[in-house]
Amino acid sequence: MNIDQIIDSIYPLPEGSRSALKKNIAEVTYPKGYLLFRANKIEMNIYFIKKGIVRAYTDQDDNEITYWFGKEGQTVISMKSYVEGRKGYENIELMEDGELYVLKTKDLQQLFNEDIHIANWGRKFAEQELVIMEERFICRQFRTATERYKELLKDAPDLLQRVPLGHIASYLGITQVSLSRIRAEVR
């Protein structure tokens, strides 16, 4: 997915504003397994996924708990670092070789001060992230593991081919044995 498509998926910008934003965005590549973000560190960059998939996880009691997957067109951000300038709690790992666009948070903050269209783009971005977080929370709290699995199949069926099942099980909040049972029932 190219950067213009990603920008437009958040909020369309006039050409001058789009150009100003794009001047601050660079392309980077990282190999599978690379840790893009590390927990307990202030993250100074925002990434947009051009190609590849990432997972967000946190360590708890010597166990990695996966709580999000991002793929082409999505944004990788530590909201705690972005909003509060504080250390984030997430690790973000590339599950495939990745091609990403990177934007320094300080550059984006400067653009917010200079261009109302970019400021509105940033507001729309934050609103979208809030809705995504709310949906994820509601799904986790009020749906059964089978319902969560079916929703994953509907919304992101490619994850099952691109991500190890252990990470899928962790994301769903179940064991791999339970995931195998659910997969057999759903077939």
> To which residue do tokens 């903050």 refer?
109
In a 3-state reduction of DSSP, which class is residue 179? helix
Look at residue 141 in the predicted model and tell me its pLDDT: 80
Task: Return d(Cα 137, Cα 45) in angstroms, integer.
Answer: 25
Structure tokens at 82: 């972005």
Backbone phi, psi, residue 182, to 5°: -65, -45
pLDDT grade, residue 80 (50/70/90)?
very high
Specify the pLDDT at position 163: 94
Mention every residue, 6+ apart, whose C-beta is less than 8 A from residue 34: 93, 94, 98
Q: Range with the lowest mean pLDDT among 4-8, 12-16, 41-45, 153-157?
A: 153-157
Tell me which residue of 174, 162, 177, 186 sits closest to 69, measured CA to CA. Answer: 162
- Model pLDDT, residue 115: 98
Residue among 174, 173, 168 at smallest CA distance from 155:
168
Residue range 155-181: mean pLDDT, rounded: 92
End-to-end CA distance of the chain: 31
Domains in the chain, CATH or no CATH each: 3-142 (2.60.120.10)
pLDDT for position 62: 84
- Please tell me the distance from the alpha carbon of residue 34 to that of residue 102, in angstroms, as a whole number: 15
* Span 90-141, pLDDT tens digits: 999 999 999 999 999 999 999 999 999 999 999 999 999 899 888 888 877 8
Q: What is the DSSP letter of 143?
A: S
The overall pTM is greater than 0.85: yes
* 24-57 confidence digits (pLDDT tens): 999 999 999 999 999 999 999 999 999 999 999 9
- What Cα–Cα distance (Å) separates residue 68 from each residue in 112, 135, 151, 156, 168? 28, 12, 14, 12, 10
Q: What percent of the chain has pLDDT over 70?
A: 100
> Token pair 């994301």 is at which residue?
171
